[in-house]
Amino acid sequence: MKKEELKKWREATDIEIENKILDMKKQIYELKNQLILGQLKNYSQIKEIKKDIARLKTILRERKIGAKK
Protein backbone atom coordinates (compact mmCIF):
# COMPACT_ATOMS: atom_id res chain seq x y z
CA MET A 1 0.00 0.00 0.00
CA LYS A 2 1.51 3.29 -1.08
CA LYS A 3 1.52 6.52 0.89
CA GLU A 4 -1.04 8.11 -1.44
CA GLU A 5 -3.35 5.17 -0.89
CA LEU A 6 -2.92 5.40 2.88
CA LYS A 7 -3.86 9.08 2.77
CA LYS A 8 -7.03 8.11 0.94
CA TRP A 9 -7.88 5.55 3.61
CA ARG A 10 -7.24 8.06 6.40
CA GLU A 11 -9.99 10.20 4.90
CA ALA A 12 -12.39 7.26 4.49
CA THR A 13 -15.10 6.35 6.99
CA ASP A 14 -14.72 3.54 9.50
CA ILE A 15 -17.29 1.43 7.66
CA GLU A 16 -15.41 1.75 4.37
CA ILE A 17 -12.18 0.68 6.07
CA GLU A 18 -13.85 -2.28 7.75
CA ASN A 19 -15.35 -3.37 4.42
CA LYS A 20 -11.91 -3.17 2.81
CA ILE A 21 -10.46 -5.30 5.63
CA LEU A 22 -13.15 -7.92 5.03
CA ASP A 23 -12.38 -7.94 1.30
CA MET A 24 -8.68 -8.40 2.04
CA LYS A 25 -9.42 -11.30 4.39
CA LYS A 26 -11.40 -12.95 1.58
CA GLN A 27 -8.40 -12.45 -0.72
CA ILE A 28 -6.14 -14.15 1.81
CA TYR A 29 -8.58 -17.06 2.06
CA GLU A 30 -8.58 -17.46 -1.73
CA LEU A 31 -4.78 -17.22 -1.90
CA LYS A 32 -4.40 -19.86 0.80
CA ASN A 33 -6.71 -22.15 -1.17
CA GLN A 34 -4.53 -21.61 -4.23
CA LEU A 35 -1.47 -22.38 -2.10
CA ILE A 36 -2.99 -25.68 -0.98
CA LEU A 37 -3.82 -26.61 -4.56
CA GLY A 38 -0.34 -25.65 -5.74
CA GLN A 39 -1.61 -22.87 -8.01
CA LEU A 40 -0.15 -19.89 -6.15
CA LYS A 41 2.86 -18.41 -7.93
CA ASN A 42 3.62 -15.38 -5.75
CA TYR A 43 3.75 -16.38 -2.08
CA SER A 44 4.56 -12.87 -0.93
CA GLN A 45 1.03 -11.69 -1.81
CA ILE A 46 -0.31 -13.20 1.40
CA LYS A 47 2.28 -11.40 3.50
CA GLU A 48 1.65 -8.05 1.77
CA ILE A 49 -2.11 -8.28 2.24
CA LYS A 50 -1.64 -9.08 5.93
CA LYS A 51 0.53 -5.98 6.29
CA ASP A 52 -2.10 -3.87 4.54
CA ILE A 53 -4.77 -5.20 6.91
CA ALA A 54 -2.56 -4.24 9.86
CA ARG A 55 -2.12 -0.74 8.43
CA LEU A 56 -5.87 -0.27 8.08
CA LYS A 57 -6.49 -1.60 11.58
CA THR A 58 -3.91 0.88 12.85
CA ILE A 59 -5.85 3.73 11.26
CA LEU A 60 -9.04 2.54 12.98
CA ARG A 61 -7.25 2.22 16.31
CA GLU A 62 -5.73 5.71 16.03
CA ARG A 63 -9.21 7.11 15.51
CA LYS A 64 -10.59 5.35 18.57
CA ILE A 65 -7.73 6.55 20.75
CA GLY A 66 -8.00 10.07 19.36
CA ALA A 67 -11.74 10.18 20.04
CA LYS A 68 -11.22 9.36 23.72
CA LYS A 69 -8.92 12.33 24.34
Q: How far apart are CA 36 and CA 65, in angstroms?
A: 39
pLDDT score, position 3 = 83
**Torsional sign, CA 5, 7, 10, 11:** negative
Average pLDDT by stretches of 10, the chain with 69 residues = 87 95 97 94 94 96 83
**Ordered domains of the chain (ranges, CATH):** 3-68 (1.10.287.310)
Distance CA 56, CA 14 (A): 10
pLDDT tens figures, 39-50: 999 999 999 999
